[in-house]
Amino acid sequence: MEQSFLDYYSLEPVTRWIHDTLCGVMPEGWAVFLEGLVLGVVILLAYAVLAVVLIYMERRVCGAFQCRIGPNRVGGKGGLLQVPADVLKILTKEIIRLKNSDHLLYELAPYLVILASVISFSCLPWHKGAGVLDMEVGILFVLAASSIGILGILLAGWSSNSKYTIIGAVRSGAMLVSYELSLGITVLTVVILSGTMSISGIVESQADGWNIFKGHIITLVAFVIYLISGNAEANRGPFDLAEAEQELTAGYHTEYSGMHFGFFYLAEYLNLFITSGIAATLFLGGWMPLHVAGLDGFNAVMDYIPGIVWFLGKTFFVVFLLMWIRWTYPRLRIDQVLNLEWKYLMPLSLLLMLLMVVLKVYGLVF
Amino acid sequence: MTTEEKIKQWCPQAGTETAGETVVHVPADRLEDVCRRLHDDAEEPMDYLRDLVGVDQGEGCLSTYYQLESSRTGSRVMLRADAVEREGRAMLPSVSGLWKTAEIKEREAYDFLGILFTGNPDMRRLFLREDWNGYPLRKDYDMDSNPLDMGNEENADVTEEFRLMPDGTLERRENVVFNPDDFVVNIGPQHPSTHGALRLRTSLDGETVKKIDPVLGYIHRGIEKLSESLTYPQTLAFTDRLDYLSAHQNRHALCMCIERAAGIEISERAQYIRTIMDELQRVASHLLFYSCLVMDMGALTPFFYGFREREMILDIFEETTGGRLIQNYNMIGGVQADIHPDFVRKVKAFTKHMREIIHEYHEIFTDSVIARTRLKGVGKLSREEAISLGATGGTGRATGWSNDVRKRHPYALYDKVDFKEIIYTHGDSWDRYMVRMDEILESCHIIDQLIDNIPAGEFRVKVKPVLKLPEGVFTASVESSRGEFGVFLMSRGDKSPWRLHFRSTGLPLVHTMDTVCRNGKIADLIAIGGTLDFVIPDIDR
């Protein structure tokens, strides 16, 4: 297939040129260090900006679902400055230290959660040649990194020394560990289909059609399972049992204030984004434009649209789907959550993986 | 043979008082026997204890009034028993073995009047602090005996029980509420889902609820005590502030009781207005029930649906009465003001709108598979338990117990309109929910029948500003939005009541929590609390 425009938009020559120039004026070690530093700042900035965008989006979407307007005063008509104002406010809030908490763990927990989220965030394939962390076992790394967040939640609940938080933490521990299984298995299904674990490799393999179309009905079902378990992993309704405002006031982060609470809040939204981003990568082709085999003219037109637009478009589409679910359904009960996973989702995803292996071995996929 | 004659037969010493309503006076030592026979009567079992009211008769005489009703025939009887002094304390035998609701109502009587009920397993105070001095509803209570105490209140984990031994001595026992190694979580008093300042001490085993001990009184205002020093028209102001979601109905009950006692006949027009207002109030309350229930279950979107339509009713209230939540509309002799010229048009528009839009409620929540699995088969209450616990209203009707006061003891215009009593039979959270949803439409049906036929005439008859009621005991009960709301008024011929007691609809419902939630999950506890639909200011009068 002709991919001239894909190459035209690729950032790889740019990054290589920067690297070479830097190496020209300083030793390579320094150059890598400097690049890492700049990238770190860029990632954290993008992280914060995206959090603001997502919170604003959530409030507008939820307003639309709830027959109301949503934020519309601060910063002109659309209420655009509402969330930045809220961020400013939360930055000025006092961080309360509890007398009878385990201080070290209590203060470590929010950082663990945010760390897990930032690391997985760095693995997203934004654009051709713009994957920050791109390694051979990329998708495995994302799964591993995102699991650190569970530790943060458990520690937060335990170290706060409160009954509500411990119930919330135990709930989320049970739930996250369970849903990681079906999440991992559906990811493996895609890995089998694509034949690689590298994130950029998975995206490249979808040049002639997104995985969701390539894997017959199997990837479609896997996509749905992924969305359900990804939603559970992100601790969002109807799986927000760990917070469950009506039952546990705020679950595991009941005792946190100020920016410590802000970290949990931030991580929740970014986890939503990461879940959607990975879904977009695995099933909807990441930054890969929509290609239909045989329609070269159409494909060429699609290639004019830059990859980052594709990636963000797909990701926000999935984010919207997840918000839609959240603002529609009541919360599940803990036993129902676990039943759903162990009795339905996990066996089903195992079956899907098996079928995918069969299809792949006999070359029945597109 | 009437019930009174039966009691006379079982207990020849029983006397009858006929000032106001008929009260059968039973000696304390025969009370248990008479109650048991009434409860187990073959034709007319008096299995529903409507209310238990403690009264200080003055001159050191404390008594308790038992209002009984038969769930089979609907006939009612009121008993009175005077407490006997033993070891320096006023005592009566407990009837909590016959009617479970007496467990908590006897605690209330003990809390306010210091009547000890021998045989009640839980003789702690109910509303007041455990270190409170004296009993406030006694006529000789010193108002200065309890200066404001900002100290921390420790809740005991044991309860006192007194047993009367056959030889006439008292035996004091301790019953354990929570063991020291129980995992007890305080749900409330500040909690998003207790719908007010209610505190449920909940013992958990993992996610499973083992026991619930409600701690009440956080917003108790002493309305019954206050009323004793106010004139009758002044007491009306309190009723809207009991169960504020049944403001019209509560006030309707008190007005009806006073009118009955004073022999005031109110106009047809006022009756129409009162009935329509009661039903509008019921719809508004059930809409809020829906909103709160869905929010308790974590669905925030349907919450706004309920508020959207409730707003229309509040606007109608505001136009006519000037108030939205607390309307202060019913008066002795009628209603405060005539209806607004737009009232009829707007009410008709509302009932039409409600019928057309209710499918949205069902689409987003009722038909959701999560809602169904979380409500069906959860929090089961049997019909017998509901009657014994006095859980009236939608909670009782969901168990198959036909307890609608509007049908069984019609007041206002309820015997002239055609409506169905909504009854479900499983007694689970789902049925409690469906009862309310169906009642919204049934109330619209009642309103539609009345709204076009409001007769001309005066909306209020002239009543003297200072009213003196004849001596005696008077009662009235209405079907409020969440059960039977009753008024017990005892007059000594004065311009203010000797004793005014309200039957709280919520107190038996809170008492039901422990029975219903046991072995459920925490999430079920919250959903069950939502479906039982209690309002705290009504419990903490």
Span B76-118, pLDDT tens digits: 888 888 888 887 788 888 898 888 999 899 999 999 988 888 8
Facing residue for B298 by CB, picked from A66, A240, A336:
A240
Q: Using the beta-carbon criterion (under 8 Å), do A328 and B299 form an inter-chain contact?
A: yes
Q: Let me know: does B469 contact B484? Beta carbons within 8 Å.
A: no
**CATH code of the domain in which B91 resides:** 3.30.460.80
What is the pLDDT, as a whole number, of residue A256?
86
Nearest CA to CA, how far is A229 from chain B (Å)?
16
B430 Cβ under 8 Å from any chain A Cβ:
no
Q: Which residues neighbour B257 within 8 Å (Cβ) at sequence distance 6 or greater?
A: B474, B475, B476, B487, B489
For chain A, residues with pLDDT lower than 70 are: 1-9, 129-130, 293, 365-366
What is the pLDDT, as a whole number, of residue B487?
92
What is the pLDDT, as a whole number, of residue A7?
61
* Cα B138 from Cα B145, distance rounded (Å): 13
For A64, the closest chain B residue by CA position comes to B301
Residue closest to A282 by CA, chosen among A334, A205, A218: A205
Q: Using the beta-carbon criterion (under 8 Å), do B374 and A68 form an inter-chain contact?
A: no
Q: Using the beta-carbon criterion (under 8 Å), do A333 and B521 form an inter-chain contact?
A: yes
Q: Which two tokens stand for residue B20?
A: 């106001």
Residue closest to B205 by CA, chosen among B527, B517, B529: B517
* Cα A257 from Cα B48, distance rounded (Å): 50
Facing residue for B368 by CB, picked from A167, A240, A329:
A329
B479 in a structural domain: yes
Strands of B58-154 (E only): list them. 62-69, 76-82, 84-86, 89-93, 116-118
* Cα B396 from Cα B408, distance rounded (Å): 14
Q: Using the beta-carbon criterion (under 8 Å), do B185 and A247 form an inter-chain contact?
A: no
| Domains in chain A: boundaries | 96-361
Residue closest to A248 by CA, chosen among A151, A155, A334, A337: A334
ipTM of the modeled complex: 0.81
Q: Using the beta-carbon criterion (under 8 Å), do A167 and B191 form an inter-chain contact?
A: no
For A239, the closest chain B residue by CA position comes to B298
Domain end, chosen from B120, B143, B166, is at B143
B301 Cβ under 8 Å from any chain A Cβ:
yes
Q: Using the beta-carbon criterion (under 8 Å), do B297 and A330 form an inter-chain contact?
A: yes
Q: Left (φ > 0), alpha (ψ -120 to 50) or beta: where does B345 sit?
A: alpha
Same domain, B240 and B343: yes
Instruction: Please list every residue in chain B whose beta carbon sits closer than 8 Å to the beta carbon of residue A330.
Output: 294, 297-299, 365, 368, 370-371, 374
Q: Could you list the residue range(s) of the whole structural domain that residue B499 is in?
A: 223-539
| Preceding peptide of A238 cis, ω within 30° | yes
B296 Cβ under 8 Å from any chain A Cβ:
yes
Same domain, B84 and B231: no
Nearest CA to CA, how far is A68 from chain B (Å)?
9
Residue closest to B4 by CA, chosen among B42, B38, B48, B51: B38
Instruction: Please list every residue in chain B whose beta carbon sits closer than 8 Å to the beta carbon of residue A333.
Output: 374, 521, 523-524
Instruction: Please list every residue in chain B whose beta carbon sits closer than 8 Å to the beta carbon of residue A327.
Output: 300-301
B501 in a structural domain: yes
Q: Using the beta-carbon criterion (under 8 Å), do A67 and B526 form an inter-chain contact?
A: no
What is the pLDDT, as a whole number, of residue A357?
86
pLDDT band at B65 (very low <50, low <70, confident <90, very high): very high
Span B446-497, pLDDT tens digits: 998 888 888 888 888 888 888 888 888 999 999 998 889 999 999 888 888 8
Q: Using the beta-carbon criterion (under 8 Å), do B295 and A329 form an inter-chain contact?
A: no
What is the pLDDT, as a whole number, of residue A52?
87
* Cα B432 from Cα B429, distance rounded (Å): 5
Instruction: Please list every residue in chain A whose beta carbon sits closer than 8 Å to the beta carbon of residue B304.
Output: 66-68
Q: Which two tokens stand for residue A107?
A: 């203060």
- Residue B329 phi/psi, 5-degree rounding, is -100, -45
Q: Using the beta-carbon criterion (under 8 Å), do A247 and B522 form an inter-chain contact?
A: yes
What is the pLDDT, as a whole number, of residue A366?
65
Q: Which residues neighbour A43 within 8 Å (Cβ) at sequence distance 6 or greater?
A: A118, A121, A122, A132
* Cα B168 from Cα B120, distance rounded (Å): 17
What is the pLDDT, as a whole number, of residue A120?
87
For B294, the closest chain A residue by CA position comes to A330
Q: Let me know: does B266 contact B258? Beta carbons within 8 Å.
A: no
Q: Let me know: does B398 contact B424? Beta carbons within 8 Å.
A: yes
Instruction: Please list every residue in chain B whose beta carbon sits closer than 8 Å to the beta carbon of residue A329.
Output: 299, 368, 370
Same domain, B118 and B245: no
Please count the other Cβ atoms lying within 10 Å of the Cβ belonging to residue A201.
Answer: 16
* Cα A55 from Cα A61, distance rounded (Å): 10
Same domain, B261 and B402: yes
Strand partners for B16: B24
Domain end, chosen from B108, B125, B143, is at B143
What is the pLDDT, as a whole number, of residue B118?
87
Same domain, B120 and B249: no
| Preceding peptide of B166 cis, ω within 30° | no
Domain end, chosen from B143, B165, B197, is at B143
Same domain, B299 and B398: yes
Residue that is written with structure tokens 């033993």 in the block: B86
Residue closest to B361 by CA, chosen among B437, B292, B423: B437
Mean pLDDT confidence for B11-31: 83
Q: Using the beta-carbon criterion (under 8 Å), do B373 and A336 form an inter-chain contact?
A: yes
Kindly give the pairing relationship between strand B89-93 and strand B116-118. Answer: parallel
pLDDT band at B64 (very low <50, low <70, confident <90, very high): very high
Instruction: Please list every residue in chain B whose beta carbon sits closer than 8 Å to the beta carbon of residue A238.
Output: 298, 370
Strand partners for B335: B330
- % of chain B with per-residue pLDDT over 70: 100
Q: Which two tokens stand for residue A218?
A: 């199997």
B521 Cβ under 8 Å from any chain A Cβ:
yes
Residues of A with CB under 8 A from a CB of B: 62, 65-68, 163-164, 167, 171, 237-238, 240-241, 244-249, 327-336
Q: Which residues neighbour A25 within 8 Å (Cβ) at sequence distance 6 or greater?
A: none
B180 in a structural domain: no
DSSP structure string for B273-294: HHHHHHHHHHHHHHHHHHHHHH
Nearest CA to CA, how far is A326 from chain B (Å)?
8
B214 in a structural domain: no
Q: Which of residues 99-158 of B touch A (CB under 8 A)?
A: none
Number of domains within chain B: 2
